[in-house]
Structure 1
Amino acid sequence: MKYPLSEKYNTPELMGKIMGPNPMKLEEELLTGHQIPAGSVVCDLGSGQGLTSVFLAKEYGFTVYAADLWSDPEENRRFFREMGLSEAEIIPVKADATALPFETEFFDSIVSTDSYNYFGRNPDFLDRKLLPFLKKGGYVYIAIPGMKHDCHKHLPPELLLSWTPEQMDYMHDVAYWRDMVSRSGDAEIIEVSQMESNEEVWADWLRQENAYAIGDRKAMEAGGGKYLNFIKIVLRKK
């Protein structure tokens, strides 16, 4: 697919801030045809250094809470100001996804790009830790790295050039994630499907010169990409 919104951010400075396969292209595909009303208050869950939060605020006009456990809110606040966004448009918050510091039913929507697989593999997470903060009828949009077919019993040696079996346990296939979210009593499943963006977003990441991208090249240059995909999950709170 084409990425007219994400291409605006294709600069060395901004690409240097990505922490994995291009999150803005993932988010653009994830939100194609989205059902989030204009002007919504949105949680960017696992926002990292804030690129996806900027993207949500500038390209979609949402009021965004950039929630992340590991990034520095002050650094993100400076970055948001540099990108021309005010505190009324985008708010950095240091937050653990399993203990969110918000009022119940605070958000119109929750978006999570390339992070939900770290905290969402507990069957109770959706109903107990996430959906209470979403208004009734609100949507959850998730893009996560996955596998085309679950192969944890016999992990391909190409993948183990870059990642340990423990790291690979964060990545599963569409069937795994459909089963996981179907256990929720409070969410209606709208879609769980394979995304188109895999090769494109990985290529953007592997061009970076940080240690993590360089480490990931070993598996991908050996053909590990043929086992991997990205997965789109769309849920609606009942």
Structure 2
Amino acid sequence: MLKKSRKYDTDFLKENMMGPNSMKIVEELSESLKLEKGMRVLDLGCGRGLTSIFLAEEYGVTVFATDLWISATENYERIKSMGLEDKIIPIHAEAHDLPFAHEFFDVAVCVDAYHYFGIEEDYLTKYFAPLVKKGGQIAVAVPGLKQEFTNGVPAELQPYWFDDMSLTLHSCDWWHNLWKACDSVRIQECKELKCLEEAWQDWLLCDNEYARRDIGMMKAEGGNYFNLVSLMATKL
């Protein structure tokens, strides 16, 4: 059961979610990570910084909160409001142009963002894995599918389906095969996260136009198709 994320203010979380509750997702991910105080952690695609706040607060790590859509200044104000400005460094950067040295990080995480750029065959090898020290861990969580739609998008989902969803939403097996091709990491696990239903329900309760749009889609989906895929690997 996820306990650490429950102590954070519900209104603060709802105001800053940009999809399924990323704080609960990163809490479950962190159960498989070896996080120690003072480690340098890359939080790629951090959004409004919920994942960075959780990692810094709960583990005492130094987090480089990196995002393209949310400005570093906006995230810095949020970080200061939580009293974490000495543990979180906000960065504004695009995923293919990250301003970090190779092997700079002990751990790299990416929650609910990797599917926008990490579907490229060489992304892990060329852009993400090089930033992590040998022996360091890489952890990713993405919305996905229980099985690939080999016979097309199910009829009940078609009213809610956008073309880019066919590019970004994939099964555990699909992601495992993609990462298996990278010879600079060893895959530790690839699985469905247990917080799937809870993280989605938290998002649907938000007063957010995208959350309201997703209500009908999730009702039509009925727990039959969608997934939260987690990938964990060690840098070789």
TM-score, structure 2 length as denominator?
0.96
Q: CA deviation at 1:222?
A: 1.9
Q: CA deviation at 1:38?
A: 3.1
1:72 is aligned to 71
**SS at 1:203's partner residue?**
helix
Amino acid at match of 2:66: A
Amino acid at match of 1:68: D
| Alignment of 1:187 onto 2:213 | no
What are the within-5 Å matches in structure 2 for residues 1-238 of structure 1?
2-86=1-85, 88-151=86-149, 153-238=151-236
Against the structure 1 CA distance between its residues 166 and 152, is the aligned structure 2 distance closer, same or farther, given a 3 Å change threshold?
farther
Native 8 Å contact 2:56 2:63 kept in 1: yes
Native 8 Å contact 2:44 2:67 kept in 1: yes
Against the structure 1 CA distance between its residues 156 and 131, is the aligned structure 2 distance closer, same or farther, given a 3 Å change threshold?
same
User: Percent identity between the aligned chains?
Assistant: 40
Amino acid at match of 2:70: S
Native 8 Å contact 1:162 1:217 kept in 2: no
Native 8 Å contact 1:159 1:224 kept in 2: no
Q: CA deviation at 1:10?
A: 4.2
**SS at 1:204's partner residue?**
helix
CA distance in 1, matches of 2:55, 2:156: 35
Q: CA deviation at 1:212?
A: 0.2
Native 8 Å contact 2:61 2:87 kept in 1: yes
Q: CA deviation at 1:197?
A: 1.3
Any gaps of 5 or more consecutive residues in structure 2?
A: none
Against the structure 1 CA distance between its residues 152 and 12, is the aligned structure 2 distance closer, same or farther, given a 3 Å change threshold?
farther
CA distance in 2, matches of 1:206, 1:178: 29
Q: CA deviation at 1:22?
A: 0.5
Any gaps of 5 or more consecutive residues in structure 1?
A: none
Native 8 Å contact 2:14 2:207 kept in 1: no
CA RMSD in angstroms, aligned pairs only:
1.3
Q: CA deviation at 1:152?
A: 5.2
**SS at 1:127's partner residue?**
helix
**SS at 1:222's partner residue?**
helix
Q: CA deviation at 1:126?
A: 1.0
CA distance in 1, matches of 2:120, 2:197: 28
Q: CA deviation at 1:162?
A: 2.5
CA distance in 1, matches of 2:150, 2:54: 34
